[in-house]
Amino acid sequence: MIPTRQPIPGVGDLLAHLRSFCLPWRALTIAIDGRNGAGKTSVARYLAWQLGMPVLETDLWLSSTSPVTHRIEEIREVMRARHHRDRPVIIEGVMMLRTLELLGVQPDYLIFVTNEALEADPEEDDEDRGAPQCLSEEVDAYLRERQPARRADFHVTWREPEVRVGRLEATADIETS
Q: 23-72, pLDDT tens digit by residue? A: 888 999 999 999 988 999 999 999 999 999 999 999 999 988 888 899 99
Count of structural domains, the chain: 1
What is the residue range of 134's domain? 26-88+98-161+170-176
> Residue 7: inside a domain, yes or no?
no
Whether 132 has a pLDDT exceeding 90, the answer reads no
Give CA–CA dist 151/80, Å, rounded. 24
Preceding amide of 24 cis, omega within 30: yes
Parallel, antiparallel or unpaired: strands 62-65 and 109-115: unpaired
> Residue 1: inside a domain, yes or no?
no
How crowded is residue 177: how many other Cβ atoms within 10 Å of its Cβ?
A: 11
Whether 11 has a pLDDT exceeding 90, the answer reads no
> Residue 157: inside a domain, yes or no?
yes
Average pLDDT over residues 82-109: 95
Please report which confidence band the pLDDT of residue 118 belongs to, taking 50, 70 and 90 as the band edges.
confident
Please report which confidence band the pLDDT of residue 160 belongs to, taking 50, 70 and 90 as the band edges.
low
> Residue 124: inside a domain, yes or no?
yes
CA atoms within 13 A on the CB side of 132: 9
Q: What 3-state DSSP class applies to 42?
A: helix
> Residue 17: inside a domain, yes or no?
no
Q: With beta carbons less than 8 A apart as the criterion, state whether 131 and 36 touch.
A: yes
Say which residues have a Cβ less than 8 Å from residue 134's Cβ, sequence separation at least 6: 65, 66, 67
pLDDT score recorded for residue 7: 59
How crowded is residue 173: how many other Cβ atoms within 10 Å of its Cβ?
A: 13
> Residue 66: inside a domain, yes or no?
yes
> Residue 11: inside a domain, yes or no?
no
> Residue 2: inside a domain, yes or no?
no
Q: What CATH number does residue 153 fall under?
A: 3.40.50
